[in-house]
Chains A and B, each alone.
Chain A
């Protein structure tokens, strides 16, 4: 710190914050303001000639009344996908943290390996796996788990599976970081103090992993509830999420004000839920 002060003077802290602050101002704050003003503009304009800022709050009421089912569907799909990620991710993160031994690093690399290919390509490959004539559907039909004309692709199931698959690593990594920090001797101490394996989990491991659970669920739920690729590629018109609606309003209908209003509503809703969630988890379980 002392040497930094020599270079930058007494206000070295400002110099350190500076670059990021400028970056955020240009690429976050400005688009945010633009989004807010667009959301309050008259939809009568066009993307080419611009929209007049008329403080039209009506956009918000219209967005809610027209598109609330998409909003609800998004939250339900994202919620289910987050829960699935939590169950799958917790088991795997636990195994990597406590049981993997020298395979720890290999397994962590495998967890992030999917990121080496594009999100779009990976989701498209699910289209092949779930296809009506694919081996999976045919096997399930043969086993009579699916009916004669039953299908997986273009169903809510496929959308939720896609979301779960795509966001699983974002759940595993924070969970692993949290679990890995837990001293395995605490598990022994709990065993020594009359705790069955299940009690050791509920009384010691789980409470100590709450920071990872909170981090993981946020990193999964937030992007999942705004996602539109999975629904677009793996769903049908009845599985459309709010992200799909925002996208079509922007690109197909060129209705920027309503699209912007819908975005702001989604954002406020998620920020509200996150605050409530973090506060609850924080006061009850966190250190």
Chain B
């Protein structure tokens, strides 16, 4: 079944700006094109402007400057009830006095759709709510309510479906199940989904394209793989997963084209970073490497990586997690870095605390960031 019939078009935000009466600027000159039919995620910490952006698209918040288009149609100042856009609200906002079927039929009825019963049935089947049709929202579980909110929006076949932290109120297990469910439904109906979330794993597993937002701006936009493996800022590097940032001095460039590399001196050891992964022109930079890309071996043993290894590190903490082991290593210059090692069994045990180790990685995984940026930016407490 495809709900996306006819030509609709991309959602285009141009110079979108939001300033609240109290002076707080929530969104700063945002330019964004969300292709029709894509699953797009706006990812960022609370207060980054992602929800404000969503509410401006829905028409629930006035636009201070800039414009919003769907295809050729300018909807910047259109009333919310005149926009081809529907929202799945954070806490669902289901109408408590109506049954599930009535909640779902609410939109079609207001639009004067004759006899919406057929489509209500169809959408309830799609969201596996047929059994619940005559119940009131209060009688449903959180996961079911979430699906009602989705069905109530989907039935209108909006050009763009906005999801505001739709899974935030669910427990972890249900959240994982709903992520897969949402993705399946999106693929089935083929509508444009714009998903707002602060959960990086949620954004990465579901969306085709993720925009990482921070302080009202987009820090970086791209496919989840691209964002994770080649972050452009320390904020993105820290907000998406974890990262080790080691101070380095740029020595110069070598090679050309796709093979061009930048040589960086990290406390005496020289690393080569692909030019496409270098995001600073300065003399200084942060060499970034994800913990699972860090390879370690007890001093003197061979490491499965070309080039020089950093020597003189000491294991200061070992956390055995079963599937993997986290090592915290103290480098000779005092910094602590993290290494996640898969327990493939090849090591035949753990490296004990106090062991001197050599540290290295495959050069294609490292990236170089602007040293002017805060190395702690975007670090979130684990919940």
Interface, chain A (partner B; CB < 8 A): 183, 185-186, 188-196, 199, 203-204, 207-208, 285, 287
Cβ-defined contact, A193 with B156, below 8 A: yes
In the complex, what's the smallest C-beta–C-beta distance from A171 to chain B, in angstroms?
A: 21
A195 to B156, CA, bound (A): 13
Cβ-defined contact, A189 with B96, below 8 A: no
In the complex, what's the smallest C-beta–C-beta distance from B99 to chain A, in angstroms?
A: 11
A124 to B342, CA, bound (A): 88
Cβ-defined contact, A287 with B107, below 8 A: no
Number of interface residues of B (CB under 8 A): 25
Cβ-defined contact, A199 with B110, below 8 A: yes
Cβ-defined contact, A208 with B58, below 8 A: no
Residues of B within 8 A of A196 (CB): 81
Cβ-defined contact, B95 with A186, below 8 A: yes
* 17 further contact pairs, Cβ within 8 A, besides A192-B58, A195-B106, A207-B97: A185-B93, A186-B96, A188-B60, A189-B93, A190-B106, A191-B60, A191-B79, A191-B80, A192-B59, A192-B80, A192-B85, A192-B153, A193-B81, A194-B81, A196-B81, A199-B110, A287-B97
Residues of B within 8 A of A204 (CB): 95
The A interface is mostly helix, strand or loop, or mixed, namely helix
Task: Report B98-125 residues with CB < 8 Å from chain A CB.
Answer: 106-107, 110-111
Interface, chain B (partner A; CB < 8 A): 58-60, 79-82, 85-87, 89, 91, 93-97, 106-107, 110-111, 136, 152-153, 156
A173 to B61, CA, bound (A): 31
Residues of B within 8 A of A207 (CB): 97
In the complex, what's the smallest C-beta–C-beta distance from B107 to chain A, in angstroms?
A: 4
A285 to B102, CA, bound (A): 14
A-B contact pairs, 15 of them (CB 8 A): A183-B93, A186-B96, A188-B80, A190-B95, A191-B79, A192-B85, A192-B153, A193-B86, A193-B153, A194-B111, A195-B106, A203-B106, A203-B110, A204-B95, A287-B136
Cβ-defined contact, B97 with A285, below 8 A: yes
Cβ-defined contact, A287 with B96, below 8 A: yes
Residues of A within 8 A of B94 (CB): 189
Cβ-defined contact, A195 with B60, below 8 A: no
Output the nearest chain B residue to A207 by Cβ-Cβ distance: B97
Cβ-defined contact, B93 with A186, below 8 A: yes
Cβ-defined contact, A208 with B81, below 8 A: no
Cβ-defined contact, B95 with A189, below 8 A: yes
Cβ-defined contact, A195 with B87, below 8 A: no
User: What are the 9 tightest A-B residue pairs by CB atom distance, in nearest-first order?
Assistant: A189-B93, A194-B110, A193-B107, A185-B93, A191-B80, A194-B81, A192-B87, A207-B97, A194-B111
Residues of A within 8 A of B93 (CB): 183, 185-186, 188-189
Residues of B within 8 A of A191 (CB): 59-60, 79-81
